[in-house]
């Protein structure tokens, strides 16, 4: 299964589902939660058996969007979202849930940093070098579709909103590298990222507001996460049926942690 499969819902529908899934957590903890989502069963089983989320440099799993992350210095990071963003957007089934106070130890961007940084570049080309943007569009069929969607498709009455960078990240990144004034683009990217970054406790305050908007904050750990000892790790949400192999591991290693079924939060004793 491709990690970024075709979106199942509209942006508005995804937000509504995300908000509904958060309601039990807001009621129980009076705060939203952080989530690390995994789309492959094999990877999830390996993580819960070992009890560790490892940095990308320590495992062989392919990075989903590696290029912009190198510029920003977060390429060797573990990404978390505010609530169930990847579940509602791409149906990533396996979700690890963390307490919001984990933000004390994490990097917090108030919006999706990779998307925002690509968009600032595309906006620049659109305004000041339209021919160069057209060259990106003409690289292949997918590039044309992504650029045309950005230029002409409206969201909430506005164009130039939806840039699906993950579909063409390799081509877009190479286009940045080959630009005549690459330094200017790098400056724009880093300035934009710095403006999105918020430190704790401001990040916690921002998270409480962001859950009622369509913003998608991005949160990053630059350290391994030990699920067995991390005091912020709360438990799991596995969308749909839970395979027997996974049930056994959860009951053996994660008793006392929570298991969410999409409506209710329970304690793992016997699943």
Q: Would the pLDDT of 63 be above 80?
A: no
pLDDT at 1: 41
User: Chain-wide mean pLDDT for the chain?
Assistant: 93
pLDDT at 252: 96
What are 60-64's contacts with CB under 8 Å, separation 24+?
64/3, 64/4, 64/166
Name the E strands within the chain. 33-38, 52-53, 78-82, 94-99, 107-109, 197-198, 218-221, 225-226, 233-238, 258-260, 265-267
| Mean pLDDT (whole number) for 92-115 | 97
Q: Residue 53: what are its φ and ψ, rounded to 5°?
A: -100, 115
Write down the pTM of the prediction.
Answer: 0.91
Residue 150 token pair = 């950005």
pLDDT at 103: 98
pLDDT at 256: 95
| Mean pLDDT (whole number) for 199-206 | 97
């Amino acid at each position: 299964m491709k990690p970024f499969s075709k979106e199942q819902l509209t942006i508005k529908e995804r937000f509504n589902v995300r908000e509904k899934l958060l309601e039990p957590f807001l009621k129980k903890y009076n705060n939203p939660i952080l989530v690390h989502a995994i789309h492959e069963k094999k990877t999830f089983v390996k993580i819960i058996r070992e009890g560790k989320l490892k940095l990308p440099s320590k495992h062989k799993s392919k990075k989903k969007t590696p290029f912009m992350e190198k510029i920003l210095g977060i390429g060797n990071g573990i990404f978390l979202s505010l609530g169930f963003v990847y579940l509602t957007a791409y149906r990533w089934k396996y979700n690890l849930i963390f307490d919001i106070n984990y933000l004390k130890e994490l990097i917090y961007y108030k919006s999706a940093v990779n998307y925002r940084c690509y968009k600032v570049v595309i906006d620049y080309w659109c305004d000041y070098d339209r021919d160069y943007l057209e060259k990106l569009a003409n690289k292949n069929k997918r590039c044309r579709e992504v650029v045309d969607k950005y230029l002409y498709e409206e969201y909430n009455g506005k164009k130039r909103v939806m840039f699906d960078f993950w579909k063409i990240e390799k081509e877009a990144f190479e286009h940045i590298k080959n630009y005549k004034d690459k330094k200017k683009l790098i400056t724009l990217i880093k300035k934009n990222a710095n403006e999105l970054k918020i430190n704790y406790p401001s990040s916690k305050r921002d998270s409480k507001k962001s859950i009622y908007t369509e913003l998608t904050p991005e949160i990053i750990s630059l350290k391994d996460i030990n699920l067995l000892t991390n005091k912020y790790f709360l438990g799991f949400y596995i969308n749909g049926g839970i395979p027997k192999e996974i049930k056994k591991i959860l009951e053996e290693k994660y008793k006392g942690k929570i298991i969410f079924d999409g409506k209710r939060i329970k304690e793992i004793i016997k699943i």
